[in-house]
Amino acid sequence: MNAIDIPLDRLPPQQRAVICAVDGERTFRRRLMEFGFVPGAEVTLRTTSPVGDPLDVVLRGARVSLRRREAASIGVRLLGP
Amino acid sequence: MSTPPWVALAGCPNTGKTTLFNALTGRRARVGNYPGITVERVFAEALTPGGPVTVVDVPGAYSLAARSADEQVAVSALLGLAGNPRPALTVVVLDATRLERNLYFALQVIELGSPVILAVNMMDAARSEGVQLDLDAMSAALGVPVVGVSARQGEGIDALRAEVARVLAEPAAPPPWTWTPGPALEADLAALAPAAAAMGEGLSPGATRALALWALLSIDSSDELTDVPAGLRLQVLARLKAAREAGRDVDAEGVTARYTWIDAQMGAWIRRSPVPRSWTDRLDAVLLHPVAGFVLFLGIMVVVFQALFAWSEPLIGLVEKAIGLAGSGVQAVVPAGIFADFLTDAVVGGVGNVLVFVPQIALLFVFISLMEDTGYMSRIAFLMDRIMNRVGLHGRAFVPMMSAYACAVPAVMATRTMERRRDRYLTMMVLPLTTCSARLPVYTLLIAALVPATVIFGVSAKSLVMVGLYLFGTITALLAAAVIGRTVLKGERVPLLMELPPYRRPSARSVGRRVARRSWLFIRDAGAFIFVCTAILWALLYFPRSNAEVEALERAHAAVQAPTAEQKAAFALEIEGAQKRGSIAGRIGHVMEPALEPFGQDWQVGVGLLGAFAAREVFVSTMGLIFGMGRDVDAESAPLRARLQSEKRPDGKPRYTPLSALALMIFLALACQCMSTLAAVKRETGGYKWPVFMFTYMTTLAWVCAVGVYQAGRLLGYG
pLDDT at B177: 94
Cα separation of B164 and B158, whole Å?
10
- In the chain, the amino acid numbered A34 is E
The answer to whether residue B101 neighbours chain A at the CB level (below 8 Å) is yes
User: Chain A contacts of B260, Cβ < 8 Å?
Assistant: 40
Residue A61, chain B, CB below 8 Å: the answer is yes
**Euclidean distance between CA atoms B484 and B429, whole angstroms:** 8
- pLDDT (tens digit per residue) in B549-574: 999 999 999 898 888 998 988 898 88
Alpha helices by DSSP H, listed for B451-547, are 461-486, 508-542
Q: How far is A53 from chain B (nearest CA, A)?
A: 6
* Of B260, B290, B497, Cβ closest to residue A31: B497
Q: What is the dihedral of CA B680, B681, B682, B684, to 10 degrees?
A: 90
Buried b / exposed e along B689-716 (16+ C-beta atoms within 10 A) = ebbebbbebbeebbbebbbebbbebeee
What B306-311 contacts at long range (C-beta under 8 Å, 24+ apart), as own/partner pairs, is B307/B363, B307/B364, B307/B366, B307/B367, B308/B360, B308/B363, B308/B364, B308/B403, B308/B406, B308/B407, B308/B410, B309/B405, B309/B406, B309/B437, B311/B363
How many CB atoms sit inside 10 A of residue B300's CB?
A: 17
Residue A69 is which amino acid?
R
Which residues in chain A touch residue B61, judged by CB atoms under 8 angstroms apart?
Answer: none
Residue A2 has pLDDT above 60, yes or no: no
Contact criterion met (CB < 8 Å) for A63 and B499 = yes
User: What b/e sequence results for B89-108 when a residue is b if at least 16 CB atoms lie within 10 Å of its CB, and e otherwise?
Assistant: bbbbbbbbbbbbbbbbbbbb
Sign of CA dihedral B162, B165, B169, B173: positive
B278 has a chain A CB within 8 A of its CB:
no
**How crowded is residue B200: how many other Cβ atoms within 10 Å of its Cβ?**
18
Distance, in Å, from the CA atom of B120 to the CA atom of B101, rounded to the nearest integer, reads 12
**A35·B387 Cβ contact <8 A:** no
**Helix, strand, coil distribution of chain A in percent, nearest 5:** 20, 40, 40
Q: At a CB cut-off of 8 Å and minimum separation 6, what does B685 contact? A: B38, B425, B428, B691
Taking the C-alpha atoms of residue B607 and residue B614, their distance in angstroms, rounded to an integer, is 12
Chain B CB contacts of A67 below 8 Å: 385, 495-496
Among partner residues A38, A63, A70, which is closest to B255 by beta-carbon distance? A38
The residue of A20, A63, A67 whose CB has the most chain B CBs within 10 angstroms, and thus the best one to mutate to test that interface, is A63
CB contact under 8 A, A64 and B497: yes
Q: Which domain holds residue A41?
A: 5-78
> Which residues are CB-contacts of B558 (< 8 A; sequence separation ≥ 6)?
none
Residues in chain A within 8 Å Cβ distance of B385 = 49, 53-54, 65, 67
pLDDT at A80 over 80: no
Q: Under an 8 A CB cutoff, do B256 and A60 touch?
A: no
pLDDT digits (tens, 9 = 90+) for B389-437: 888 999 889 999 989 998 999 999 999 888 888 899 999 999 999 999 8
Q: A24 CA to chain B: closest CA distance, Å?
A: 11
Q: Which residues of chain B from 477 to 516 reach within 8 Å of chain A, CB to CB?
A: 495-501
Across the interface, of B220, B289, B381, the residue whose CB is closest to A26 is: B220
Q: Where are the alpha helices (DSSP H) in chain A?
A: 26-34, 68-71
Q: How many CB atoms lie within 10 A of CB B240?
A: 20
Chain A residue with the nearest C-alpha to that of B63 = A34
Q: Find the closest chain A residue to B383 by CA distance.
A: A49
C-beta atoms of A65 and B255 within 8 A: no
**Per-residue model confidence (pLDDT) at position A8:** 94
Q: How far is B414 from chain A (nearest CA, A)?
A: 22
Q: Are B232 and B198 in contact (CB under 8 A)?
A: yes
| Residue A4 clears pLDDT 70, i.e. is over it | no
Integer Cα distance of B362 and B359 in angstroms: 5
A67 touches chain B (CB under 8 A): yes
Among the listed residues B660, B619, B658, the one whose alpha carbon sits nearest the alpha carbon of residue B640: B619
Whether chain A has a CB inside 8 Å of the CB on B179: the answer is: no
Cα separation, B445 vs B468, whole angstroms: 16
* Count of C-beta atoms within a 10 Å radius of residue B518: 23
d(CA A3, CA A20): 12
Which residues touch B524 (CB under 8 Å, ≥6 apart)?
Answer: none
Query: β-strands B116-121, B89-95: how paired?
Result: parallel
Residues of A in contact with B100 (CB under 8 A): 36, 60-62
- Whether A62 and B101 lie within 8 Å, measured CB to CB: yes
The pairing of strands B30-33 and A55-59 is unpaired
Phi-psi region of B189 (alpha: psi -120 to 50; beta: other; left: phi over 0): alpha
Question: Do B257 and B104 touch, CB atoms closer than 8 A?
Answer: no
Chain B, 13-72: which have a CB under 8 Å from a chain A CB?
A: 62-63, 65, 67
A45 contacts on B by Cβ (under 8 Å): none
Integer Cα distance of B696 and B570 in angstroms: 40
Maximum Cα–Cα distance across chain A: 34
Residues B356, B348 contacting (CB under 8 angstroms): no
Main-chain phi, psi angles of B30, to 5 degrees: -110, 145
Task: Judge whether B502 and B476 are in contact, CB under 8 Å.
Answer: no
Is the sign of the CA dihedral B613, B619, B624, B630 positive or negative?
Answer: negative
DSSP helix/strand/coil, B654: strand
Over residues A57-72, the pLDDT tens digits come to 999 888 999 999 999 9
Nearest Cα neighbor of B676 from B478, B525, B540, B539 is B525
Average pLDDT of chain A, as a whole number: 89
Are β-strands B146-148 and B116-121 bridged in parallel, bridged antiparallel, or unpaired? parallel
**Residue A3: pLDDT over 50:** no
- Contacts for B211 with CB less than 8 Å, ≥ 6 apart: B75, B79, B196, B197, B199, B203
pLDDT band at A1 (very low <50, low <70, confident <90, very high): very low
Q: What is the mean pLDDT of residues A38-42?
A: 93
Q: Say if the Cβ atoms of B101 and A60 lie within 8 Å.
A: yes
Task: Return averaged pLDDT per consecutive 10 residues of chain B, 719 residues in all.
Answer: 88 92 85 80 93 94 90 93 93 93 95 96 90 94 96 93 96 92 94 94 93 94 88 95 94 93 90 77 92 93 87 91 92 90 90 91 92 92 91 91 92 90 93 92 90 85 91 95 91 80 89 90 90 92 90 91 89 89 93 94 92 87 86 85 89 89 95 93 93 97 97 88
CB A68 within 8 A of CB A53: yes
B296 CB near a chain A CB, below 8 Å?
no
Sheet holding B146-148, edge to edge: B30-33, B40-48, B51-57, B6-11, B89-95, B116-121, B146-148
Compute the nearest-CA separation of B255 from chain A (Å).
Answer: 6
A23–B contact, CB cutoff 8 A: no
CB B147 within 8 A of CB B20: no
* Cβ-defined contact of B383 to A50 (cutoff 8 Å): yes
Of B62, B289, B496, the CB nearest to A67: B496
Q: Per-domain residue ranges for chain B?
A: 6-169, 183-257
B497-499 and B30-33: which strand pairing? unpaired
Burial class (CB in 10 A: 0-12, 13-18, 19+), B350: buried
Q: What would the mean pLDDT of A18-39 be, rounded to a whole number?
A: 92
A62 reaches B (C-beta below 8 A)? yes
CATH assignment at residue A14: 2.30.30.90
Q: Are B43 and B34 in contact (CB under 8 A)?
A: no
Q: Does A47 touch chain B (CB under 8 A)?
A: yes
Q: Which residues of chain B have a CB within 8 Å of the CB of A50?
A: 288-290, 293-294, 383
Q: Do B495 and A56 touch (CB under 8 A)?
A: no
Out of B223, B255, B498, whose CB is closest to A34? B255
Q: Distance from B224 to chain A by nearest Cα, in Å?
A: 12
CB contact under 8 Å between B259 and A38, yes or no, is yes
Cα end-to-end span (Å), chain A: 22
Say whether the peptide bond before residue A54 is cis (omega within 30 degrees of 0).
yes
Q: Chain B partners of A38 at a C-beta cutoff of 8 Å?
A: 252, 255-256, 259
SS (H, E, C) B36-105: CCCCEEEEEEEEECCEEEEEEECCCCCCCCCCEHHHHHHHHHHHCCCCCCCCCEEEEEEEHHHHHHHHHH
Question: pLDDT, tens digit, for every residue of B686-711?
Answer: 899 999 999 999 999 999 999 999 99
Please give the Cα distance from A59 to A45 (Å, whole number): 9
Mean pLDDT, residues A24-34 taken together: 90
User: Taking the CB of residue B676, how many other CB atoms lie within 10 A of it?
Assistant: 27
Buried b (16+ CB within 10 A) or exposed e, A3-41: eebbbbbebeeeeebebbebebeebbbbbbbbbbbbbeb
Identify the CA nearest to B659 among candidates B603, B590, B717.
B717
Q: What pLDDT sits at residue B70?
A: 87
Tally of structural domains, chain A: 1
Q: What share of chain B is helix, strand, coil (3-state, %, to 5)?
A: 65, 10, 30
pLDDT digits (tens, 9 = 90+) for B52-100: 999 999 999 999 999 888 889 999 999 999 889 999 999 999 999 889 8
d(C-alpha B319, C-alpha B345), whole Å = 15
Cα separation, B510 vs B273, whole angstroms: 31
Q: Which residue of B has its CA nearest to A59?
A: B101
Q: Given CB atoms, is B255 within the 8 Å cutoff of chain A?
A: yes
Q: Do B497 and A32 touch (CB under 8 A)?
A: yes
A14 touches chain B (CB under 8 A): no
Helix (H) or strand (E) holding B32: strand B30-33
Q: Residues of A with CB below 8 A from B255's CB?
A: 30, 33-34, 38
B-chain CB neighbours of A41 within 8 Å are 259, 263
Number of H helices, E strands in chain A: 2, 6
- CB–CB of A65 and B500 under 8 A? yes
Hey, of B496, B499, B503, which one would you mutate to test binding to chain A, going by the most A CBs within 10 A of its CB? Answer: B496
Q: Does A58 contact B at CB distance below 8 Å?
A: no
Hey, what CATH class is B6-169 in?
alpha beta
| Contacts of residue B57, Cβ cutoff 8 Å, sequence gap at least 6 | B9, B17, B18, B21, B41, B42, B43
- The amino acid at residue B63 is S
